[in-house]
Structure 1
Amino acid sequence: GSLGQSYGPLPRQVGWGAEAAGKVLGKNRDQRVDPGVANMTLNLPPEIFDNRRRLLESIDSFRRQLDGSRALGAMDKLSAQAVSMLLGGATRAFDLSLEDPRLVEKYDTSHIRIGHNNFRPSTLGKQMLLARRLCEAGAGFVSVHSAGWDMHADGNNPGMVKGMAMLGPTMDQAVSAFLEDVEQRGLSEKILLVITGDFGRTPKIGKGSGRGHWANLCPLVFAGGGLRMGQVIGRSNAKAEKPATRPITPGDMMSTILHTVFDVGKMRLDPTIPRNPGQLVLNGTPIKELF
């Protein structure tokens, strides 16, 4: 939001029945790749689409003559994104039927059922495959959400043993398939995979073999992106309560990602880039062991 509307993300669900902005799906709603993405297929003849686009441009031009604010100007970038997705190859990225069935099977984690009380097939594997296809189509940032890690052993969540037995294998299969896939395609240097969460888990096991939220430590994994791999950086104390070596902060993580994705020197000098990305670089220190 702080970067302006031009830099806002495209909706993560597209099509009929897509989640409305600001709404949260019910807790029993299945986690899935929304089949509504099929509606992104352009069914209009190209000449009719071009006519409608020119009409939209004319209307927008007239509106901008009446509105001197930057809000409408920011829509130019969004319109260009929409046209590019409809006419370019981006829509094909959502069609997993175009993949080799053997590769889809390698990613597929649907044979593992996850949840608590209301179980559902895991879609993490297909999400990771979709992420790879979106990266190939030109997406700069792709987020994959893996839910269910609140292993509190309460009425809504399983305990650690049962929870890890479900989610651990899905993570192993999906991530290993992704890393092998991008390596075979020669994309390991170009795609940076970051695995993390918003907090860790309490060192002490609670009632019912569950754990609570713990902000002092959190897992963080980097893979690819031209970084130096095969390392364990830092360690916790014996009880996994706090860092025993140099702490890695959220600012350090963001700075590491930005130094990998951008030419930071040019980014600082470019007046067209909003102030916030540059500030994120300054708020942390890149993890030196990775470079």
Structure 2
Amino acid sequence: MNQQAVDQLTRRAALQLGTGLFGLSLPGYLAAARAGQVDPARRDYSCIFLFLAGGISHFESWDPKPNAPVGIRGLWSPQSTNVPGTFITEKMPLLARMMDKVAVIRSWKGASGSHGDASKHAMSGVLPRSRNQQFFPNFGCIASTLLGTRQPGIPSYVGVPVAARYTTPSGYLGPAYSAFDVDGDPSAKNFEIEGLRLPRGRFETRRSLLDQVDNLGRLAAAGNNTLSVHDNLFEEAVTTLTSGAIQKAARLDEESLAVRQRYGMNIYGQRVLLARRMVEAGARFVTVNHAVQGGLFGKGLTNGTWDNHGWLFDSMMSFSHEPAGLPGSSNWHRYPGPGNLPQLDMSLSTLLDDLEQRGLLDSTLVVAIGEFGRTPKINKTAGRDHYPSAGNALFAGAGIRAGSIIGATDRNGTEPRTRPWRPEDFAASIYHLLGLDPQRTYFPRLPRPTPIANGSLIDGLFS
């Protein structure tokens, strides 16, 4: 599609996507899409997407470079895994024993070094042309909208604590198709599901949609089904808030203490456990912003990050103490739990094992990725900076080719030396794994017929 045509789309045209002013309305078209344009073998597939906000270093995760020069290769050594010939960082020993269950793409390549634009690109497969403006929806919004609700009372798309930091998830679909965000601390004894609620503004949005359809219905033909489709949207929201199903899904105290401890008895580990319970209860897509907060980034619950411009090797492991050489004027927030790398190792490996034991791994896609990689050269404060030219990502479940390494970067981790796989290709592959044809035009009300993804399926990812 011509990108200029997208940029020139007016606000009025965007609003018309949902009002039915020209032929079939967006909700009516979605109903048709659900009926015949989804692979029936994958109709009940789900996704848990661990968004590593801030950008995970490929050097210190799944693409170590032990033969690179000093100043690039880092402080840690690679370790062997249960897949012969495959090495990852020594700081992820739990995942090293489970590499036969995952696929790692080492030739990821992005386009922007800005957190905002890179995150939108990584989470939607479309790079914004206007800085920090998102028109195309995130994967979760597209998938949940097209596939619909799996279980009454469980929202199709859930964000924990938000549906991807730095993004506007619903894009052109509008707020009626946003995720339900769980913003509380699931590790707390008094955790309640009121943290996941439909804001009054969203109720008003959906009531407004119903009002529009009521007005249009007076002029519409008797066979027009738009009203019933909008009714369904509203009823889904009401059922979610009143049935008690989602409150039950959030009862982490129903899990054994041993399982909870394996995920990590802290807000970050319990968020991943909550994602598993949401999928098990019927959610289509759950995005977890999996990033520990502490150190120079202050205290809080939603702004954790992998954005380690300084003291990377300390920060990735722990925020419990100030690193050597930290300027006296710095305000270091101490967090006593694991840092990003051991927390991800713990949560991700437990999630994969838990899904497999429950018979859910074959029907649940698990993705772990940030918005970009990190610079090859370690800077003067022992950190790495934003780097869109190279990175890595991890996939598991849902029929991926487990135990595979796809692509490679050069000796110094500077750029892919095999075919680069871009966010557009990740979009096509994710939709394909969820049973959606990425080349089909599901939303014909755009300026031109536009597929939901404009990339290729990643070679070697599928079994």
TM-score (norm 1): 0.71
SS at match of 2:412: coil
SS at match of 2:366: strand
Q: Matched residues in 2 for 1:59 and 1:204: separation?
A: 53
Q: Matched residues in 2 for 1:106 and 1:192: separation?
A: 21
Deviation at residue 200 of structure 1 after TM alignment: 0.8
Letter aligned with residue 263 of structure 2: Y
Identity %: 32
SS at match of 2:361: coil
Matched, 1:10 2:179: yes
Deviation at residue 63 of structure 1 after TM alignment: 6.4
Deviation at residue 262 of structure 1 after TM alignment: 1.8
The answer for the alignment partner of 2:460 in structure 1 is 289
The answer for the alignment partner of 2:243 in structure 1 is 87
Letter aligned with residue 107 of structure 1: Y
Letter aligned with residue 193 of structure 2: V
Judging changes above 3 Å, is the alpha-carbon distance between structure 1 residues 106 and 61 closer, same or farther for their aligned structure 2 residues?
closer
**1:132 aligned residue (256, 263, 276):** 276
The answer for the alignment partner of 1:96 in structure 2 is 252
SS at match of 1:142: strand
Residue 5 of structure 1 contacts residue 75 of structure 1 at CA under 8 Å; is this kept in 2?
Answer: no
Deviation at residue 149 of structure 1 after TM alignment: 0.7
Instruction: Report which structure shows greater RCO (CA 8 Å, sep ≥6).
Output: 2
Alignment of 1:174-253 (within 5 A): 174-253=347-426
TM-score (norm 2): 0.46
Q: Matched residues in 2 for 1:290 and 1:208: separation?
A: 37
Q: Matched residues in 2 for 1:77 and 1:144: separation?
A: 27
Counting strand residues as a fraction of each chain, which structure ranks higher? 2
Residue 3 of structure 1 contacts residue 274 of structure 1 at CA under 8 Å; is this kept in 2?
Answer: no
Of the structure 1 ranges 57-66 and 244-253, higher mean CA displacement relative to structure 2 is found in 57-66
Residue 253 of structure 1 contacts residue 287 of structure 1 at CA under 8 Å; is this kept in 2?
Answer: yes
Letter aligned with residue 279 of structure 1: P
**1:151 aligned residue (308, 314, 317):** 308
Gaps spanning 5+ residues in structure 2: where?
1-169, 198-205, 220-225, 292-304, 318-338
Judging changes above 3 Å, is the alpha-carbon distance between structure 1 residues 12 and 62 closer, same or farther for their aligned structure 2 residues?
closer
RMSD: 3.6
The answer for the alignment partner of 2:343 in structure 1 is 170
Letter aligned with residue 255 of structure 1: A
Per-residue CA shift, 1:181-218, capped at 9, x if unaligned? 00000111100001001111010000110111001012
Judging changes above 3 Å, is the alpha-carbon distance between structure 1 residues 38 and 102 closer, same or farther for their aligned structure 2 residues?
farther
**1:66 aligned residue (207, 215, 224):** 215
Residue 151 of structure 1 contacts residue 211 of structure 1 at CA under 8 Å; is this kept in 2?
Answer: yes
Deviation at residue 31 of structure 1 after TM alignment: 10
Q: Matched residues in 2 for 1:13 and 1:4: separation?
A: 21
Judging changes above 3 Å, is the alpha-carbon distance between structure 1 residues 215 and 32 closer, same or farther for their aligned structure 2 residues?
farther
Q: Matched residues in 2 for 1:162 and 1:31: separation?
A: 27
Q: Matched residues in 1 for 2:179 and 2:230: separation?
A: 12
The answer for the alignment partner of 1:274 in structure 2 is 443
Of the structure 1 ranges 85-94 and 185-194, higher mean CA displacement relative to structure 2 is found in 85-94
Q: Matched residues in 1 for 2:427 and 2:360: separation?
A: 22
Gaps spanning 5+ residues in structure 1: where?
19-29, 42-56, 111-122, 154-158
